[in-house]
Amino acid sequence: MEENRYVIIGVSQFGQLLVIAYTDRGEKVRIISARKATRQEKRLHEEGS
């Protein structure tokens, strides 16, 4: 089964910057991984905002 995977960066309800990898399975979204953003990812996010 081939599926598209996506990575997003966002802020949690606690104010932490997170990196989330997920796949969309029709009516369901499956989270593959979630972790705190690295320093480099934080910098890139701030520069792009």
What confidence tens digit (pLDDT) does each residue in 16-34 have?
999 999 999 889 999 999 9
Amino acid (1-letter code) at residue 25: R
Number of domains in the chain: 1
The residues facing 29 across adjacent strands are 24
Q: Which residue, 20, 41, 22, 42, is CA-closest to 30?
A: 22
Dmax (CA) for the chain in angstroms is: 37
pLDDT (0 to 100) of residue 28: 94
Percentage of residues of the chain with pLDDT beyond 90: 84
Q: Can you tell me the mean pLDDT for 39-43?
A: 95
Query: How many Cβ atoms from other residues are within 10 Å of residue 42's Cβ?
Result: 14
- What is the model's pLDDT at position 49? 67
- 16-36 as b/e, with b when 16 or more CB fall inside 10 Å? eeebbebeeeeeeeeeeeeee
